[in-house]
Structure formats: C-alpha cells, structure tokens
Structure 1
Amino acid sequence: MNKTLIPALAVVVALGGGGWWYMSQGQNQVTATTAQAQGRAHQIHALDIPLGNPDASVVVVEYSSFTCPHCASFNQGAYRQIKEEFIDTDQILYLKREVYFDRYGLWAAMVARCGGEQRYHGLVELIYEQQRVWAGSNDPMEVASNLRRLGRQAGMNDAEVNACLEDAEKALELTEFYQANAEADNIRATPTFMINGQQYSNMPFAEFQRVLNEQLGG
C-alpha cells in the first residue's frame, strides 16, 4: 500500500460520548520523539512486542498497516513461513511495527494491544484474516462494532475493548512511536521491511529466505 505519511500529525481517536473524535499534536512533540528514536529503531522498544531471539544477530522489522491488503496477504503467506523457519527456531529477532495511514488502522492496533502481550500476536492474525469484513464499511460506528466483535473472539468483553479504544493517551503514544520510526526508517509504503538496517519492499518467501540466510552467514 503506497500512501504518503502525514508529517507532524498525531491523530488520537477515542470512543467517547457516543462518537469518535480527533485531536492534533504539534510539531515539537513528534520531533522530540523522532530524535529519541534515532539509533535505536531496530532495538526492542517498550511498545514492541517481539518474537524470536532477542539476542539474535539478525533483526527484522516489519512495518505494516492493519488496513493494507498487501499486508494481510503477506501475513497469511510469507510471514507464516518466516515464522516457522526463522522465528520459531530462534534464529532471528522479529518486530512487527504498526503503521497508521488511517484511523481504522489505529483503532485495530489499539484492540490488538488490548489483550496484552499474550494475546497480541493472536489478535494480529485474527485482524488480518478478517480484514475485508471488519474494515469493509465506511461507517466508523460499524467498524468499531466489528472490532469489538474481534475482541470478543479473543476473550474480551465490550467494556474492556471500549476502555482500550477510549485510551487517548495510549493512542497518542502509539501514533508518536509510529511517526518517529517511519521518519527514522523512511517508511512510505506497506509492507516494508528493515533487515539489519537495510530496507526491503515486499517479496516472496524464497527471497526472504535467501536474504535471511545470507545475513545469518549461511
């Protein structure tokens, strides 16, 4: 998905008073966050929910959007092969970092994180598997209802999901993290991958396999 990032704009979305609202964040806070992210973009951050070996010599950072069809295809295809061959065998450290090109992507991320680290990656799978269903409406309230349904499938109730969606502080924190990383790694499309600091666009598993094996010295 090729979309232009909106510089210096953090969109906070919350469900309050029966409606969705937005607030903008100015240049200073985003710039400061960007500066803090320089030099550590590929290290584990407090907002990362890593997979694999934290001490691995090869670090893969996936930048993807929950509303990006190409990201859903990758997640259900090449990613599962990467996970089986390289992540589950502790050969690499893998970081999934969310990109928020639109409000629905941010809402989905807040729901994915609602169940904590133990549920996060399972919810990510569910969100991508049902992307066409939950994100297929132009009605924000319907999308919110669809996301609540996914939360229920993961064992949460509507009150728990609503509390996550109403967390404006967390929404701002996630948006700043995304913008800082996108700035540091020049992310302009999804999915995009940083493998030991080098940028790659989406590619078939055979190409990932070749690159990863080269990085691993194989």
Structure 2
Amino acid sequence: MTSSTIHRLRDGFRFTRSSGFGLVSACGLGLLVLSGCTGQEAADETAAQTVEPASTTSSQPTGNATSEPSVDLPQMQGEVDVAVLMAAQALPDVVIGKAEAPITIIEYASMTCDHCAAFHVNTYPTLKRDWIDTGKAKLILREFPFDPRATAAFMLARCAPNDNRQAMIDVLFQKGEDWAHADDASVKLLSISKLAGFTEESFKACLSDKELQAKIVKVKERGESVMGVNSTPTFFVNGKKYIGALKPEQISALLDSLS
C-alpha cells in the first residue's frame, strides 16, 4: 500500500449511514459469536487500565541541580517463557521491525477494544519512531477478538491486498469510532476495505473464509490457555507481561530499562 493510499485510508472517509442491519446479517456470513467484552471481561479490561503503575524514583538532587520528574512504569503481571511465546501460531506472526531486534514486544489486541485503539493512536507512533524504526525493538500483534466485529476486522486485515495487514489495522484502529460500535458496521467496513483495494466480492469472500476465521479463534484460544491473556491490550516484552494501554512515556521508560 502506497503512502498516498494510506493517507486516503486515514483521512478520506465519506460514509452514507444506513440502518437496520449489522455485519453478519448484511453479508450473510454467520460469523462465529465470540464472548463479547462485557460482564466480567469488561470488568477485567477496565481493571487492567486502572492498575496503579510502579513508580521509579531518582536520588535527591544536590546544590542547584534540577530533579527529573519520575516516570511511572507499568507493573509486571507475570512472565511467559520466550520460547513458548514465539512458538508457531495458527496464523503466522507478522513482525513489525527488524527480526533481529533485541527487544520483542507481543501485543494481544481486539479490534473493537477502545483501550487498544488508544494505544495504537497515542503510543504506537512513538514506539515505532524511537524503537522499531531504529532497530531496537520489534512488535508482533496477535489476534484476540472479543466479538464478531473484531473477528471480521482481523480477517479483513489478513486478506488485505499486497499483504498490507498492518496498514489496515492502523486505519481500523484510527477509525474505530466510525465502525466498531455502529449499527451499519458492514457498510463502513466495506467502505474502508474498498479504499485498501478490496472489491465487494473480495470483501465478502474474505469474511466467508471459515478456515481463516477458525485460525483467528485458535490464536485467541492459545493466548487464553497458554499465555494467560484475559483482557486487551496485553503485552509481553521479552516475556514479561504487562496489561493496559501503555502511555508513550511508560513504554519508553520500560524499554529503556531493558536496553
């Protein structure tokens, strides 16, 4: 996907609102109903965002020295062996950055998760500029959909023409308010997909791909059963587990501590 196409995807949306049908009924695809981000899962997700982070403190300055403000580091919520984390998934991992980067960040996200969108809109640009593009870290985003719309969005990202999965994910997060909770989600997803190079036929074919759908569910299930993921976003940084939408200064401080 060219930069001009990405800019059109990000800035050029013009939707016509329709009502009375959702993604599944509009396309007639019968997507598997996954557990929604409601009830206890919503409580878990909200709690994950309100965990008080650990605070680093600096030594007392002497003389006229000016103290640097402390940076709140996220609390580690456990650890998973890196070999287990990096084992083959039902779908191949898409690595953002250099494969040999010393810091590996694995994110489990749901496309309809507002906290995930906040991370990708507010923190990811800093992470990419300062850590991924400089070869110090790499990011792997894995599918953890909480509902059929999130599953559909992940399917479309995997089907994106020219293997532009990440560009599709970026735009879907940036435009989440337009489609994630809308009555006419299928119409708006189709509009986004057409700007990415889909036709209506390829859009429907992608969302009808039961094998792809099943593999996305398997990635989620392994995240739950093996990695202990139960809310999004959940990050593993060189095996260490952190929960919640990390702020730019938090991710920078965390990665600095590992460098």
Q: Normalization by structure 2: what TM-score?
A: 0.66
**Are the equivalent residues in 2 in contact too, given 1:15–1:162 (CA < 8 A)?**
no
**Are the equivalent residues in 1 in contact too, given 2:31–2:148 (CA < 8 A)?**
no
Aligned residue pairs, count: 188
1:212 aligns with 2:221: no
**Are the equivalent residues in 1 in contact too, given 2:97–2:132 (CA < 8 A)?**
yes
Residues 117/98 of structure 1: CA separation in 2 closer, same or farther (3 Å cut): farther
Distance in 2 of aligned mates of 1:92 and 1:43: 19
Give runs of aligned pairs for residues 128-147 of structure 1, distance below 5 A: 128-138=173-183, 142-147=184-189
How far did residue 146 of structure 1 move? Answer: 1.6
**Are the equivalent residues in 2 in contact too, given 1:41–1:181 (CA < 8 A)?**
no
| Structure 1 unmatched ranges of 5 or more | 1-13, 25-37
The partner residue of 1:94 within 139, 142, 146 is 139
Counterpart position of 2:85: 41
Runs of 4 or more above 4 Å deviation: 14-18, 43-46
Give runs of aligned pairs for residues 33-72 of structure 1, distance below 5 A: 39-42=83-86, 45=89, 46-72=91-117
Residues 127/199 of structure 1: CA separation in 2 closer, same or farther (3 Å cut): same
Distance in 2 of aligned mates of 1:108 and 1:134: 10
Q: CA RMSD in A?
A: 2.5
For the pair shown, which has the larger CA radius of gyration, 1 or 2? 2
1:169 aligns with 2:211: yes
How far did residue 157 of structure 1 move? Answer: 1.1
**Kindly, what percent of the aligned residue pairs are identical?**
24
Counterpart position of 1:152: 194
Distance in 2 of aligned mates of 1:60 and 1:137: 31
Q: Aligned letter for 2:29?
A: W
**Are the equivalent residues in 2 in contact too, given 1:65–1:98 (CA < 8 A)?**
yes
1:20 aligns with 2:29: yes
Counterpart position of 1:4: none
- Aligned to 1:63, the other structure's residue is in SS state strand
**Are the equivalent residues in 2 in contact too, given 1:111–1:165 (CA < 8 A)?**
yes
Q: Aligned letter for 2:129?
A: E
Counterpart position of 1:191: 233
- Aligned to 2:236, the other structure's residue is in SS state strand
How far did residue 15 of structure 1 move? Answer: 6.4
Q: Normalization by structure 1: what TM-score?
A: 0.78
How far did residue 136 of structure 1 move? Answer: 2.3
Distance in 2 of aligned mates of 1:17 and 1:146: 11
**Are the equivalent residues in 2 in contact too, given 1:62–1:97 (CA < 8 A)?**
yes
**Are the equivalent residues in 2 in contact too, given 1:42–1:197 (CA < 8 A)?**
no
How far did residue 16 of structure 1 move? Answer: 9.3
| Structure 2 unmatched ranges of 5 or more | 1-22, 34-81
**Are the equivalent residues in 2 in contact too, given 1:65–1:191 (CA < 8 A)?**
yes
**Are the equivalent residues in 2 in contact too, given 1:65–1:100 (CA < 8 A)?**
yes
Distance in 2 of aligned mates of 1:166 and 1:82: 34
Q: Aligned letter for 1:114?
A: C
1:82 aligns with 2:127: yes
How far did residue 129 of structure 1 move? Answer: 1.2
> Could you list the per-position Cα deviations for residues 29-85 of structure 1 after superposition, in whole angstroms to 9, with x for gaps in the alignment?
xxxxxxxxx943235755211111212221101111110111111101111100110
**Are the equivalent residues in 2 in contact too, given 1:51–1:94 (CA < 8 A)?**
yes
How far did residue 165 of structure 1 move? Answer: 0.5
**Are the equivalent residues in 2 in contact too, given 1:16–1:166 (CA < 8 A)?**
no
Residues 43/215 of structure 1: CA separation in 2 closer, same or farther (3 Å cut): farther
